[in-house]
Every structure is written in structure tokens, then in C-alpha cells.
Amino acid sequence: MPALLPGAATLGESRQATLGVLGGGQLGRMFVHAAQALGYRCVVLDPDAVSPAGSVAEVHIKADYLDSLGLARLARDCDAITTEFENVPALALETLAGMRVVAPAAAAVAVCQDRAVEKAHFKAAGVACAPHAVITNDIELAAADPALLPGILKTSRMGYDGKGQVRVSSTAELAAAWADLKRVPCVLEQMLPLKVELSVLVARGADGQLVNYPVQQNLHRGGILAVTEVPAPDVPAAVAQQAIAAARQVADALAYVGVLCVEFFWLDDGRLVVNEMAPRPHNSGHWTMNGADVSQFELQVRALAGLPLPEPRQHSASVMLNLLGDLWFSGDGGPTPPAWDRVLALPGTHLHLYGKAEARHGRKMGHLNVTAATPQAAHAVAAEAAALLGLPADF
């Protein structure tokens, strides 16, 4: 397959090379920005009238993900199509794949959509994950090994940012939690003593070329990513190497095309286990927009277009602070924007807001990247920024 070159019109065609995105959220928006910088035209399909990605793409098709007319229009308008979230119906990707280049493939996205299938894939790829049991019926519920308790019951599908999860410490609590989750298919995972959470981003081309970023150390608050630090301050080189090798193995075993994020737990006893993966650029990779010579979004564009994938080079120590809607509610009155002018007075601060009109608690509104010559300097500035924003000093 020849690469889809950006900019100039393809021979015999009058329009610019065009990339399509399923989904109009912030990941789609940052993908569109990267694609446009390279000279591609972008089309976003999203059901909402106004969306972060829909408002920056050249064309926004306002349609449901399974609307056949909308999908046909997307396929007609675009040379290649990607998705910005994993819960897009696999059928939508399959429909498009019959007409256009689609990456990642529907089959790979389907693996990431289901925790049980995902864990089976990790096992097949030779990568250890948390001890767990799949619960889809009363027999499996009764048979769940009590050694998995205390544990976390997670819905197999549609979970994100800690949603669809219940912590359980007895078989009675487990049964009650499964009933609360409406008895949908679930995975019961043993609660593990986490020392550090980390993630690895890889990008893989259709020709099998595979590149990766350094290990990212992640701090979550209330199930939502709060801070990412690169280099990872608390991860020894041997553990980092193990995580990178595992992430590459997982991508190869899927014959994956595009950017893939693999999340890991490094445990108190020194073991490294894989947690989950996302078939797309990831919140923990947002630092690459300012701290590396090629961002995760540009790598996604390149992989989709069949362009070469350069080995990314981190040129600055980086800390990323997620900016949730809660920051707009620090005063007594209505929502007010944080003091960006004071934050941006700090050296090496890069603000990215996603164009969401309304701030809400827990809503991802943007992120702040801090870059510096040394990890210590990046950390110190990030701590100052966090203090100005009223964020905890727990990193």
C-alpha cells in the first residue's frame, strides 16, 4: 500500500488528502490539529452538534456511529479513517473497512473493548496480568476463587475513568456488587498492592515497524489520571525495559496499526503486571506534545497515512497535569476560569484546553504540560502550577 502523501491533491483527484476520525472528543481534536499541521484535510463524525474535534475539522458529519448514511459519507470523503475512542461500535469500523483504509483494525479495537478478551490476549502474548476470574453467570459467580478477595469487580465492557467498578471484600459483597452492576459480564480482579502505575505508548505501522516512547509514570485520583511524569521518577531501568518489551509484544501479537497505550502496575513485591490497553493516543501521552520531537498524535497520523514512523526522542523532562472541570469551581459563585495568566508566567508551561464550553466536575477540560531541562526542574514548576491551581501536592 503506497503512503497517503499530505498536502497536494492525489493524481487524478481534485481534493486534498483527507483523514477521517470517528468521535469528536479531545483526542480527536488533537489528532486533527496534528493532521492539519502536516497538510491533511480532516473530517470528524460525531453525533453531537458541537464537539471539541468537530469544531476544528474542515468537515463535521453530525451522525450516529451506526448511521449508514453518515458512515458512507465519511468513507466517500476520506482516504483513511481512525477512531479516537475504543467504545465505537466495532460494526462501524468493519463497515468502513470495506470501503477505506481503517486503522486500528476493528478486530484490534474489539479486543480492547472487552476486559475478558483483553486479558486473554495479554496471556496469549506472554504478558502477565492481575489474577482474575470472568463472571458472566451464577455458576461462575459461585466458582470465583475467594483468594481473589479483596478485589475489584469491573464490567467487561464500557468502563473508563474508574466507572463500572466496585471494590468487594467478601463473597456476599461480590454477589451484591454484581447485582448492582445489573449482572452484565464482569471481571473480578484481585486487589493488588500498587507501588507505581505506569504506561507505555507504542506506534506500529502496517509494515510492522514499531517505535515507543519512554515509560510514563501515572498518578490517578478517584480513578481518573491526574499527573504523568516522564522520565518516570520511581521506576528502575530494568522495570522500564520490561514494560517496554511487554508493550511491544502486545502490539505485535495484535498486528496492530496505529498508536497503542499499554498500562501497567508495578507491585510492592517487584512484579510488573499489565492492567489494560487503549487502541489510540492516550491521556498519559499528552506530554509528548511539548516534551518530545514527535507527538503521539503525529505518530497516529503517520501510522494511518502509511508514512514512516520515526523513533520519538524526548528532548525535555516533562510533567503533565490534567485539568478537570473542578478547577472552575474554586470560588463561591458560578464557574470561573483558573488564573491561567499566573500559571503561564511559569517557565516551560504549555496550556492545552479542549474548547469545551461548559466546565463540569470530573470533566476533562484540558491539560498543562511542563517541560524543563531536568526532571527536578520540571517537577518544581509543576508543583508551583499545581499550587496556583489548588491541585494536591501529592506527586
Which stretch, 37-45, 120-128, 154-162, 284-292, contacts ligand ADP (CB under 6 A)? 154-162
Which of residues 47, 89, 162, 355 is near ligand ADP by CB under 6 A? Answer: 162
Q: Where are the beta strands (DSSP E) in 62-209?
A: 80-83, 101-102, 132-135, 151-155, 165-168, 186-190, 194-204
Check residue 161 for interaction with ligand ADP (CB under 6 A): yes
Enclosing H/E stretch for 372: strand 364-372
Which of residues 159, 233, 325, 375 is near ligand ADP by CB under 6 A? Answer: 159
Check residue 191 for interaction with ligand ADP (CB under 6 A): yes
Which stretch, 7-15, 45-53, 54-62, 151-159, contacts ligand ADP (CB under 6 A)? 151-159
Q: Which is nearer to ligand ADP, 58 or 161 (CB)?
A: 161
Residues 316 to 375: which contact ligand ADP by CB under 6 A? Answer: none
The b/e string for 25-58 (b: 16+ C-beta within 10 A; e otherwise) is bbbbbbbbbbbbebebbbbbbbeeeebbbbbbbe
Q: Which is nearer to ligand ADP, 146 or 333 (CB)?
A: 146
Q: Which is nearer to ligand ADP, 132 or 352 (CB)?
A: 132
Q: Which is nearer to ligand ADP, 152 or 289 (CB)?
A: 152
Which of residues 126, 138, 158, 160 is near ligand ADP by CB under 6 A? Answer: 160
Build a one-symbol-per-residue string for 192-231: x at contacts with ligand ADP by CB under 6 A, - elsewhere.
x-x--x----------------------x--x--------
CB 312 within 8 A of CB 294: yes
Which of residues 77, 84, 189, 229 is near ligand ADP by CB under 6 A? Answer: 189
Specify which residues 132 forms β-bridges with: 189
Enclosing H/E stretch for 249: helix 237-253
Q: What does the block give as the cell for 203? A: 506506534
Check residue 18 for interaction with ligand ADP (CB under 6 A): no
Is 373 exposed, middle or buried (CB count within 10 Å of its CB: 0-12, 13-18, 19+)? exposed
Which of residues 152, 153, 203, 294 is near ligand ADP by CB under 6 A? Answer: 152
Is 136 exposed, middle or buried (CB count within 10 Å of its CB: 0-12, 13-18, 19+)? middle
Enclosing H/E stretch for 264: strand 258-267
Q: Binding residues for ligand ADP, per CB under 6 A?
A: 130, 152, 154, 159-162, 189, 191-192, 194, 197, 220, 223, 263, 275-276
